[in-house]
Structure 1
């Protein structure tokens, strides 16, 4: 909207001609200057300048919305965009799947199956549409070297035997999943920027980051928690905006870590916050 031409904003013909004569052609040109500078440049009264600026601002400004309207609009948008099914009946009945255009975080302790779940999601996104998939490519960002191509094929053979029995299908599915191994948050951002065009062109139908917190763990072992939050905040914000822009599901995993303390309690740390819970004998 900032590039909208001034002569199409409903100003009087005389003031439009004055703007054009001074090479102020777009809303951005006019609104980048103070009212006083415009008055001196255009050689018109301050009241005329203020009236013109108000009209230009009114035309290019987005309509005002209440918080309730934003919530309702987001709900309609999410429903229309759809979901990537997990093909787990109970989970799909409850959540419908992984929503398009959103950042979804999977949180749990080590060994609970987060990586296995992400491998299956990757296969579903790569499956043909006739089999309930998205028939697309997947970017799998593996920060802890947990990705296993052998396990990927095993999950495919067990979950989708009718697909993986077809000769060459396992190789085709595996070929649609690109694995990246960034070691820092900066490398993650760089990798995402490299695939941004593929996301916008809808060639990539799913992005997985397993796990998001591991990127900063090594860098912040000797630093305070606040530094970790600051370091992690940048890629998380970028991921959220990228999901909304590309309208593909982005799934990240995070791990709940616990350490035993001297006061006989477990201390759970998640996203920089610590929670104490007394031990219970079982």
Structure 2
């Protein structure tokens, strides 16, 4: 006999098999899932009689046992159903990760934030709601229509990451993947001169900071994929403190598998990774995406029209799951707004802003909380795509 049958029932085997198979195919196994799968039965403290039978049938790891149905195990081990379910319950209990309390998770979160840090945006209201700025170790996404200010924001972040620490920067290198050839060194220097005149008027400082920003301009998906290896090497060999991809939409299109790559890069390197995403027209079938939204179709369309929400992020819902922070830039009635549409540490808030010679500037440091369709609505009404400022006067 395999021992007591008093353990909690395990996950139904058809769900276990789906979890193993799906996670392996997608390459998205989390660390604890891999550890669980590779735990050796002989090292799990199981009764020797159980281990010997499993070993004799070449079942050596937790995955070997939990990937088979109870009936497959009965046939393979030549034992009864009760004995099999008890054995599976013991393997599941020992190999599964322990429970954590909400308090322990909060303590871990605080510790991780302390170790990882943030890149301050110098936008007071935004930095306050994000508890310091753009967080390290996760993906932060900027979504919005063309000309709304996404690249302006990314260039300002690049300057802040390269700024000397004594002036509040990270004093590091920046990798800026300029997929759409929108990066402008002249505009970046203009932002620097307007934002930090005392620093940029120091002899050689502008050249020094500009020299820390490494710009890649892949012209195709193949070049973009090849540049990933160069990025990984640079993260290891240089003091890279920020990675920007502007924009993902131009090369990724409907393929969101690269989200796993960049999320892993963020977690591995513990730096802020910022990506931009374009918008596309919303299909009528996408207006209500979930079965638990019980509004009638007519009511949903009517409410959507009321907020003029016909634009959605171009890379879709699967990409959004990889993103930790989503900032939406939009325009309505000639005014621009920045929305904190997704954040684990902030409610949905909106800030009006404009773009000046020093980049994006919030008109107020107090965000207005959003509810309902406003959170996910992306509007693009009455703003100019042309931003000239003083660029023509720069050398």
**Given the two structures, how large is their TM-score scaled by the length of structure 1?**
0.68
User: 1 or 2, which has the higher helix percentage?
Assistant: 1
Give the corresponding residue for 1:206. Answer: 242
- 1:53 counterpart = 2:88: yes
Pair 1:275–1:90, CA change in 2 (3 A) = closer
> CA shift at 1:201, angstroms?
8.2
How far residue 183 of structure 1 moved from its aligned partner, in angstroms, is: 3.6
Is this contact kept in 1: 2:143–2:313, CA < 8 A?
no
CA contact (8 A) 2:176 2:216 kept: yes
Query: Offset of 1:108 from its aligned partner?
Result: 4.2
Q: Deviations over 1:92-119 (max 9, x none)?
A: 3444311223332334454443322211
Query: 3-state SS of the aligned residue for 1:106?
Result: strand
The aligned counterpart of 1:253 is 276
Q: Do the aligned residues in 2 keep the contact of 1:199 with 1:248 (CA within 8 Å)?
A: no
CA distance in 1, matches of 2:179, 2:62: 45
Match of 1:138 in 2: 174
Asked whether 1:12 is paired with 2:47, we answer: yes
CA–CA separation in structure 1 for the residues paired with 2:153 and 2:378 = 27
> Which whole-Å deviations, capped at 9, do the CAs of 1:113-163 have from their partners, x for residues lacking one?
332221121122123333322233322111221112233334334434555
Q: Compare 138-147 and 269-278 and name the one that shifted more.
A: 269-278
* One of 243, 258, 275 as aligned partner of 2:266: 243
- Structure 1 unaligned regions, length at least 5: 217-227, 259-265
Number of residue pairs matched? Answer: 258
Normalization by structure 2: what TM-score? Answer: 0.52
- The alignment status of 1:125 with 2:161, answered yes or no, reads yes
Question: What are the superposed Cα offsets for residues 194-238 of structure 1, whole Å, 9 maximum, x if unpaired?
Answer: 52465578943222122333446xxxxxxxxxxx6xx16444565
Distance (whole Å) between structure 1 residues aligned to residue 272 and residue 380 of structure 2: 34
CA distance in structure 1 between the aligned counterparts of 2:122 and 2:47, rounded to whole angstroms: 61
Q: Which residue of 1 aligns with 2:214?
A: 178
**Partner residue in 1 for 2:64:** 29
- Offset of residue 190 of structure 1: 4.7
Distance change (3 Å), C-alpha of 1:206 and 1:39: same
CA contact (8 A) 2:278 2:313 kept: no
Partner of 2:135: 99
More deviation, 21-30/269-278: 269-278
Q: Distance in 2 between matches of 1:90 and 1:277?
A: 23
Report the equivalent of 1:155: 191
Pairwise CA RMSD of aligned residues?
A: 4.2
